[in-house]
Copies of this chain bind each other. A is one copy, B any other.
Amino acid sequence: MPFPRTSHDIPTPALLLDRIVLERNIIAMADKTARLGARLRPHVKTHKCLEVGRLQRRHGAAGITVSTIVEARDFADHGFDDITWAVPLPLSRLDEVVALARRVTLRVTVESVEAVEAVARVAKAAGIRMHAWLEVDCGYHRSGVDPVLPASAVLARRLAQSEQLTFDGLLTHAGHSYSAPDAAARARVAKQEREVTTAFAERLRADGVPVPAVSIGSTPSMAAMDSLAGVDEVRPGNYVFYDWMQSAAGVCAPGDVAVSVLTTVISHQDALPHAIVDAGALALSKDPGPGDAALRRGLGPVYAGLAGAALDPRVNISHVSQEHGFLEGPEAADVRGRFRVGDRVRVMPNHSCLTAAMFDEYWVVEDERVMDRWKIWRGR
């Protein structure tokens, strides 16, 4: 098959990536982070793409963050040599961690006695030192040590004094910034994220525990962050693409969303109040989108055109099966006669991280022109 020239030629369902918007998002976050005086270690779980990672690096990113050891290995195989795995270390992956730590600077995340002991044990057996962050719970309450408990300071001291481990410092993730309903709420989360973590670092230092660095920062909290005093690096990920969740919450404008799912109308029966497109759960994911139900637009809102168009106010992807998406609005007239079998439609993903993980590649576009095709390293 010839290489597609425009988005009219791409086999669907396909994931489009707007190169101009992508680079603008990357530069904006790099600028903000530099202005606030911290390093940027972006989370690549959103894009899983070497080309996007290289663009982030070209615009100043220092190291990357990953969510799986497979991502870490894929990026290490292609020249990324300073990698933080920002998930509490699964003890079932210790062999792979040791193997990768021999090749690059791999920084694992620990927050339990069990994990600290296990990493120290395998490092000793391998005859290497391993880098480790201590995860702190800044208020999200998913994982991480509670900074007010005495046991947390004990664990930090143990890390700092370990002969097998290099203590990298304190790392936190303010995942509750994603459910903050507005900018004021995000600002409160951002303040808490920074203050809880830097205050714990200061207490540890006052107690004689050296804390080399403090690492914070999600996309929504970075949008509201007005100071990074005491913070050494930030790890946002979603900002490269954004999505309907971020757009609906006001973290970005709809025009800042860099990815969209290109899909084809495959059915539009007169007797039925919807059209069917070839983007289902395995293209869009089943992420329900905004936490606030009033902002939900089914499995994703739909653009009024193939490029440069605003969102169509009348229709959404209301629900999906595995490879089918239901395109519909409140009234049958929102669809009837407007969509023909063979028409192409673009969908804004609810959650770009999950949508990107459904595809093997990005079709990189500028307006409707196809510029390139970039692989998505979605191995598990």
Residue numbers of A with Cβ under 8 A of B are: 1, 10-13, 45, 67-68, 87-93, 95-96, 99, 111-112, 114-115, 118, 137, 141-146, 149, 175, 264, 266-272, 276, 278, 281-283, 285-288, 321-324, 326, 340-342, 344, 353-354, 357-360, 379-380
Contact = CB atoms under 8 A, between A and B. Distances in A.
A342 B91 contact: yes
Contact of A90 (B88, B91, B266, B286): B266
A320 to B, nearest CB: 10
Nearest to A15: B380
A143 B266 contact: yes
Nearest to A9: B92
**Which 7 pairs show the lowest CB-CB distances between chains A and B?**
A143-B267, A114-B341, A88-B266, A91-B342, A286-B286, A90-B278, A12-B92
Contact of A341 (B112, B323, B358): B112
A380 B282 CA distance: 9
A278 B87 contact: yes
Given A142-B321, A286-B285, A380-B360, A267 B112 contact: yes
Contacts of A266: 87-91, 115, 143
Given A12-B92, A68-B323, A323-B87, A380 B358 contact: yes
B149 A271 contact: yes
Contact of A287 (B283, B286, B324, B340): B286
B353 A267 contact: no
A322 B360 contact: no
Given A88-B276, A90-B266, A354-B322, A96 B1 contact: yes
A341 B111 CA distance: 10
A328 to B, nearest CB: 12
Contact of A324 (B118, B142, B321): B142
Contacts of A93: 11-12
Residue from A112, A149, A270, A344 with most neighbouring chain B CB atoms (10 Å):
A112
A207 B148 CA distance: 81
B322 A281 contact: no
B269 A144 contact: yes
Contact of A143 (B68, B276, B285): B276
B142 A326 contact: yes
Nearest to A148: B271
Given A88-B276, A143-B269, A264-B91, A96 B11 contact: yes
A379 B359 CA distance: 8
Contacts of A353: 322
Contacts of A91: 264, 266, 341-342
B341 A267 contact: no
A5 to B, nearest CB: 14
B344 A92 contact: yes
Taking each of A266, A287, A379, which has the highest tally of chain B beta carbons within 10 Å of its own beta carbon? A266
Given A89-B266, A283-B380, 16 more contacts: A10-B92, A12-B93, A45-B323, A67-B323, A68-B323, A92-B278, A92-B344, A112-B269, A115-B341, A143-B272, A175-B321, A282-B354, A282-B380, A286-B354, A358-B380, A360-B380
A379 B354 contact: no
A142 B276 contact: yes
Contacts of A143: 266-267, 269, 272, 276, 324
A146 B272 CA distance: 9
